[in-house]
Amino acid sequence: MAYLLMFVTLLHLITLAMQFIATMEKSWWEWDGLENSDLWYNCRFDNFTGSWLCTSSKETDWLHAVQILMVISVVFSSVSFLVFLGQLFTISKGGLFYFTGLCQVFAGLTAFSAALIYTLNNREILQDSRELTSGHFGYCFILAWVCVPLLLLSGVIYIHLRKKE
């Protein structure tokens, strides 16, 4: 039981870190490694100065939906972890972690929705950027997709996890 508890806690922290990186980093779409776009900025690398020059992304309804869903996913996962820590000390013996599990499942579903919207509507989201055929999805986009099954798995584990003393 102690190993399962450590595993689910570690899994939760890993998925929370992955969600935060996927939401905040600069690589949802890349072109040749010198330009990229994320949920917040479009950036290009300036060889002369050796730095990234970033401008705000053009605001579209689809981009707003992805931004909101990813932020909500991070919030759900954070609340879930805090509730889990609280329940460890307050829940009675044999109690289940239903609320923690439901928050994780909701975090997984919102991350799924955000990644799916970006997948299906990336042309509208990146409409004023360079030609999309010369680019590809970046590592943050992939992290968002990897988070989905991990969040759902940890949610199911939390729902079935019982407190033992």
Rounded mean pLDDT, 2-11: 86
**Are the C-beta atoms of residues 95 and 141 closer than 8 Å to each other?**
no
**Residue 159 pLDDT level (bands cut at 50, 70, 90):** confident
Domain span holding position 134: 1-163
pLDDT at 128 over 70: no
pTM: 0.87
Q: What is the mean pLDDT of the chain?
A: 86
The CATH number covering residue 115 comes to 1.20.140.150
Q: Which residue has the tokens 């991990």?
A: 150
Structure tokens at 36: 């990229």
Buried b (16+ CB within 10 A) or exposed e, 129-141: beeeeebebbbbb
Q: How far is CA 98 from CA 87, 104, 127, 161, 164, in A?
A: 10, 10, 42, 9, 15
pLDDT recorded at residue 12: 92
Domain count, the chain: 1
pLDDT confidence bin for 32, thresholds 50/70/90: confident
Taking a C-beta distance cutoff of 8 angstroms, is the pair 114, 144 a contact?
Answer: yes
Check residue 60 and report its DSSP letter. Answer: -
Over residues 34-76, the pLDDT tens digits come to 788 888 888 888 888 888 888 887 888 998 999 999 999 999 9
Residue with tokens 């986009």: 141
**How many angstroms separate the CA atoms of 15 and 138, rounded?**
18
Other CB atoms within a 10 A radius of the CB of residue 34 amount to 12
Give the pLDDT confidence of 65-123 residue by residue, as tens digits: 999 999 999 999 999 999 998 988 887 776 778 889 999 999 999 999 999 999 998 88
- The reported pLDDT for the residue numbered 64 is 92
